[in-house]
Structure 1
Amino acid sequence: MSLYMRFLLNAFLSKVAYKFDAYLGVISQCVFLFIHISIWKALYISAEIVDVSSIDLKTMITYSVISAGISLFINNSVIGIMDQKIRTGEIAIDLLRPMNLKTTLFYRKMGDTCFVMIFQFLPVVMIFSFILRINYPSIEFLLYFFITLINGMIIYFLITYIIGLIGFWYLSVWHLSRLLQDLVRLLSGSFIPLWFFPDILSTISLYLPFRFIYFVPISIFLGKVDVLEIYIMIALQIMWILILTIIEKVLWFKGIEKLVIQGG
């Protein structure tokens, strides 16, 4: 077993040791989702918008359920970890280790993701699928959904890693985590689908990577895009992964250079 795979396994096992936290997470997510769905029901009934741009209430409920699942799937603590490493100087020790820090953090995230997928993501989706009778897409579209979901998780990981690297110049970046979460939720279509966005916000979202985290995978799950569009979306996700990778590498080398000059 490779060293990085051990990080993945250790991250998974450490989560298993605290399964009660996962169960609390499922309960809290279910409560939040129930409130979210209730709000959409009230909006559809009061405004009599049973069909807006072919988006009916059942579609919106399904959208909310999958969005809640994705939220569990992509969440990570990279910003907090990077903040602590840079503030305490632990980053200097990481430089001496024969391992890439980003790769180490990614494999730890994958270990967390495996745990979340088994103990949180699937339970939440299955519970609400049973209660609300959610329709699933075909095997082909389900495969496309998981491909874009994984790509979206990588995009979010890279964004959080980049925010963490800002700590080389701006100490205590941990509070930027909440700002990032709110920004992603707004422009990714997490709470409100991009179908309902005003023109200016919709245009802004086209030039940012956030929609590929939530909106694109959910749209595929709902069958709102054809196969050709799916291939285009996957290509754009890969493009953003490459762009973000270049950005993080530049920031990493500039940050290490600054650390060395300052005698860190």
Structure 2
Amino acid sequence: MNSAYLDIIRIRFLMMLAYRVNYYSGIIIYAINIGAYYFLWDAIYGVQKELGGFTLAQMTTYVAVSWMARAFYFNNLDREIANEIRDGSVAIQFIRPYNYLFVKLMQGFGEGIFRLLLFMVPGLVIVCLIFPVKLPTDPSVWLLYFVMLIFSFLINTQINMLVGLFAFFVENNEGMLRMKRVLVDLFSGVVVPISFFPGWLAVTMKWLPFQAITYLPSSVFTGRTTGQDVWIVLGVQLLWFLLLIIPITWVWRQARSRLFVQGG
């Protein structure tokens, strides 16, 4: 990898480190969210041993891991790209000797590394001390989950890039940015596991990339997906990563000829 891109990762990491107090408080906020979901699901399950294919123990682990994974793959690249398009600063990127979208990817990765080390890991430790989370004991599951977590970051970032680039075609895509965040959280399985969706909607989700962000990795981590099925869900992630490159490339090429600077 070009050393310039490595520097971009390092710079974004250091920028996030300057505001680390915000993320320490974020751990508390995420723990409260997880606690609220835990008591909610505990009440929903009641005396039932299984619901939606999840036991209560699996659901507790799923909720904890899903929210902490969100801390890693979440970023605001869509808003950053949209703002740079609106104020015209993106035009400067066209003449610089690097790929603008790849730079954004590296910035997001630098932020993700920060969130992983100073948010996700300590947050998961705290949550495990408070709630009955059952972590897998097989090292191969941890390794596979880490690989799937990288794909979660890549797919979520690709969706962010795609939405952000639409600022080239509309004067204000703020509504689209907000709608995207709600859709990703809902349809990726962070709010409710996809197996709880109505039959027709659960089937529809299998044809969309959102499940590859949270639901599939968390299903592997909680032990709901095992054996050969593990490689199938990993293949689904890889497939969506490759497929999303196509619309991003097309929109980027179309957008370069439509640069419209607002303001002056």
Q: Which TM-score band (shorter chain)? A: over 0.9
Aligned to 2:142: 142
Q: CA deviation at 1:258?
A: 2.3
- Paired with 1:159 and 1:125, the residues of 2 have a C-alpha distance of 26
Match of 1:82 in 2: 81
Is the Cα contact below 8 Å between 1:69 and 1:121 reproduced in 2?
A: yes
**Residue type at the aligned position of 1:254:** Q
Amino acid at match of 1:183: L
Q: Distance in 2 between matches of 1:206 and 1:86?
A: 33
CA distance in 2, matches of 1:80, 1:189: 23
In structure 2, C-alpha distance between the alignment counterparts of 1:39 and 1:177, rounded to whole Å? 29
Unpaired runs of at least 5, structure 2: none
Preserved CA contact (<8 Å) 1:190 1:214: yes
Query: Kindly tell me: are residues 108 and 202 of structure 1, through their superposed partners in 2, closer, same or farther at Cα, counting changes over 3 Å?
Result: same
**Matched position secondary structure for 1:258:** coil
Contact 2:152/2:213, CA 8 A, preserved across alignment: yes
One-letter amino acid of the structure 1 residue matched with residue 187 of structure 2: L
Q: In the alignment, what sits opposite 2:5?
A: 4
Q: Give the partner amino acid of 2:88.
A: G
Amino acid at match of 1:112: E
CA contact (8 A) 2:86 2:171 kept: yes
- TM-score normalised by L of structure 1: 0.93
Match of residue 26 from structure 1: 27
- The total of aligned residue pairs comes to 258
Aligned-residue CA RMSD (Å): 1.5
State whether residues 72 and 116 of structure 2, in contact with CA within 8 Å, keep that contact through their aligned partners in structure 1.
Answer: yes
Most deviating of 207-216 and 74-83:
74-83
Question: How far apart, in 1, do the equivalents of 2:114 and 2:259 lie?
Answer: 35
Alignment deviations for residues 165-188 of structure 1 (CA, whole Å, 9 cap, x no partner):
111111222332221121112211
Shift of 1:58: 1.5
**Unaligned ranges ≥5, structure 1:** none
Amino acid at match of 1:233: V
Match of 2:113 in 1: 114
Greater helix share, structure number: 1
With 217-226 and 167-176 compared, the bigger mean Cα shift is at 167-176
- 2-structure distance, mates of 1:77, 1:10: 16
Letter matched to residue 257 of structure 2: E
Report the counterpart of residue 235 of structure 2 in structure 1. Answer: 235
The corresponding residue for 1:205 is 205
Question: Which residue is 2:125 aligned to?
Answer: 126
SS at 1:175's partner residue?
helix
Q: Distance in 2 between matches of 1:67 and 1:236?
A: 18
SS at match of 1:4: helix
Shift of 1:90: 0.9
List aligned pairs for 1:171-182, cutoff 5 A: 171-182=171-182
Supply the distance in 1 between the matched residues of 2:210 and 2:38 (Cα, whole angstroms): 23
The alpha carbon displacement at 1:54 in A equals 4.8
Give the partner amino acid of 2:252.
Answer: W
- d(CA) in 1 for partners of 2:94 and 2:65? 39
Whether contact under 8 Å (2:61, 2:135) holds in the other structure is no
Counterpart of 2:249 in structure 1: which amino acid? K
User: Quick check: 1:158–1:245 contact (8 Å CA) kept in 2?
Assistant: yes
Describe the shift of the 1:159–1:54 C-alpha distance in structure 2 as closer, same or farther (beyond 3 A): closer
Task: Give the structure-2-normalised TM-score.
Answer: 0.93
Q: Compared with structure 1, are the counterparts of its residues 54 and 255 closer, same or farther at alpha carbon in structure 2 (3 Å cutoff)?
A: closer
- 2:90 is aligned with 1:57: no
> Per-residue displacement from partner, 1:97-127 (whole Å, max 9, x unpaired)?
1111111111111111111011110111111
CA distance in 2, matches of 1:42, 1:168: 47
1:16 aligns with: 17
Are the counterparts in 1 of residues 53 and 195 from structure 2 also a CA contact under 8 Å?
no
**Does residue 250 of structure 1 match 2:250?**
yes
State the distance in 2 between where 1:98 and 1:249 align. Answer: 18
Q: Deviations over 1:214-252 (max 9, x none)?
A: 010000001111231111112221111111111100000
